[in-house]
C-alpha cells in the first residue's frame, strides 16, 4: 500500500501569527508531499518493503537493500519527521509544559527556562539542514539531540517526543535568515499535551 500524506491536524492559518499560513501551505503541501511521493517511488518493485509500515521500515534499515537504503532514509525520514512536527504543534498552545514531561524537563535540564535555552542553542548550532529533537534515548534518558538532513532517531532505537524543523524551508519565507526568531516564535505553538502523550508512550 502506498504511503500517503498525513493531513494537518489544523487549518493552514491556525498557527498564525507564530507560524504563517503561506509557509505552512508550502511546507506541508509541497515539501512533505514530495517526501511521500519520493518514498513511494523508491519502494517501487519492492513489495516486501511496500507492505511494511513507515515505522517498521525506519526501525530496521538493515532489512532494506543497499541500492535503495539511502533513499528510504532520506525520503522515509522526511515523511516521519514531518508527521511528528505537525503533531507536536497546535493552535492556542505554547506556554510551559505540564504533567510528566514537565517533571522530566525539570529533572534532566533543571527547569523549563534552562531547557529552552539548551534547545535553542542546539537548534542554532545545527549546521545546514536538520532537526532538533527532545527524545527518550534507547537507554531511557531524556535528551536534546540534533539530527542532520532527514535522519530519523527511531532508526537508532530512540523515541522522539518533540521536534523542531530547522531546515530553511521551514521558516525562510517569514523569518528569512533569522533562525533564532523562528525558534522563539515556535515555542508559542508547541502542543505539550501531545508531547506528554508521546512521552507516556515512550516510557
Ligand atoms: Mn520541513
DSSP string covering 157-171, please?
T-EEEEEEE-SGGGT
Contacts of 13 (CB under 8 A, 6+ apart): 21, 24
The mean pLDDT of the chain is 97
70 pLDDT band (50/70/90 cuts)?
very high
How remote is the CA of residue 54 from the centroid of ligand 1, in Å?
Answer: 17
pLDDT of residue 55 exceeding 80, the answer is yes
Do 108 and 64 sit in the same domain of this protein? no
How remote is the CA of residue 165 from the centroid of ligand 1, in Å?
Answer: 6
Give the C-alpha separation, 102 to 181, whole Å. Answer: 24
Do 28 and 108 sit in the same domain of this protein? no
For residue 111, what is the domain's CATH number? Answer: 3.55.40.20
Instruction: Assign residue 45 a region (left: φ > 0; alpha: ψ between -120 and 50; beta: otherwise).
Output: left
| Residue 8 maps to a domain | no
Mean pLDDT of the 127-139 span? 96
Do 68 and 105 sit in the same domain of this protein? no
How remote is the CA of residue 82 from the centroid of ligand 1, in Å?
Answer: 6
Domain that holds residue 177: 99-202
Using an 8 Å Cβ cutoff, are 134 and 119 in contact? yes
What cell numbers appear for 163 in the block?
A: 521536534
Last residue in a domain, options 64, 87, 110: 87
DSSP letter assigned to residue 29: I
How remote is the CA of residue 170 from the centroid of ligand 1, in Å?
Answer: 5
| Residue 41 maps to a domain | yes
Mean pLDDT of the 33-37 span? 98
Is residue 144 classed as helix, strand or coil in its secondary structure?
Answer: strand
How remote is the CA of residue 107 from the centroid of ligand 1, in Å?
Answer: 30
What cell numbers appear for 44 in the block?
A: 517501487
How many domains is the chain partitioned into structurally?
2
DSSP string, 48-86: HHHTS-HHHHHH-GGGS-HHHHHHIIIIIHHHHHHHHHH
How remote is the CA of residue 132 from the centroid of ligand 1, in Å?
Answer: 12
How remote is the CA of residue 169 from the centroid of ligand 1, in Å?
Answer: 6
What is the percent of the chain where pLDDT is above 90?
A: 99
pLDDT of residue 14 exceeding 80, the answer is yes
Give the C-alpha separation, 64 to 57, whole Å. Answer: 8
pLDDT at residue 11 in the model: 98
Do 112 and 142 sit in the same domain of this protein? yes
pTM given for the model = 0.97
Do 30 and 104 sit in the same domain of this protein? no
pLDDT of residue 1 exceeding 90, the answer is no
Using an 8 Å Cβ cutoff, are 142 and 136 in contact? yes
Instruction: Please choose, from the candidates 159, 144, 162, the residue with its C-alpha nearest in 3D space to the C-alpha of residue 203.
Output: 159
pLDDT of residue 60 exceeding 80, the answer is yes
Mean pLDDT of the 12-34 span? 98
pLDDT of residue 106 exceeding 90, the answer is yes
Amino acid at each position: 500500500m502506498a504511503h500517503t500524506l498525513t493531513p494537518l491536524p489544523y487549518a493552514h492559518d491556525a498557527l498564525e501569527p507564530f507560524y504563517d499560513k503561506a509557509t505552512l501551505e508550502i511546507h506541508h503541501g509541497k515539501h512533505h508531499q514530495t517526501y511521500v511521493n519520493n518514498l513511494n517511488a523508491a519502494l517501487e518493485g519492492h513489495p516486501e518493503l511496500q507492505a511494511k509500515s513507515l515505522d517498521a521500515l525506519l526501525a530496521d534499515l538493515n532489512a532494506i537493500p543497499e541500492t535503495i537504503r539511502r533513499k528510504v532514509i532520506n525520503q522515509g525520514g522526511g515523511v516521519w519527521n514531518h508527521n511528528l512536527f505537525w503533531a507536536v504543534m497546535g493552535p492556542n498552545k505554547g506556554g510551559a509544559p505540564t504533567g510528566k514531561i514537565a517533571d522530566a524537563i525539570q529533572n534532566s535540564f533543571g527547569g523549563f527556562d534552562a531547557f529552552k535555552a539548551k534547545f535553542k542553542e542546539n537548534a542554532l548550532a545545527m549546521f545546514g539542514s536538520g532537526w532538533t529533537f527532545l527524545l527518550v534515548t534507547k537507554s531511557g534518558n531524556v535528551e536534546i539531540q540534533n539530527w542532520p538532513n532527514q535522519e530519523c532517531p527511531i532508526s537508532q532505537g530512540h523515541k522522539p517526543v518533540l521536534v523542531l524543523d530547522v531546515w530553511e524551508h521551514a521558516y525562510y519565507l517569514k523569518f528569512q535568515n533569522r533562525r533564532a526568531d523562528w525558534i522563539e516564535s515556535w515555542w508559542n505553538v508547541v502542543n505539550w499535551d501531545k508531547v506528554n502523550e508521546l512521552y507516556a508512550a515512550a516510557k
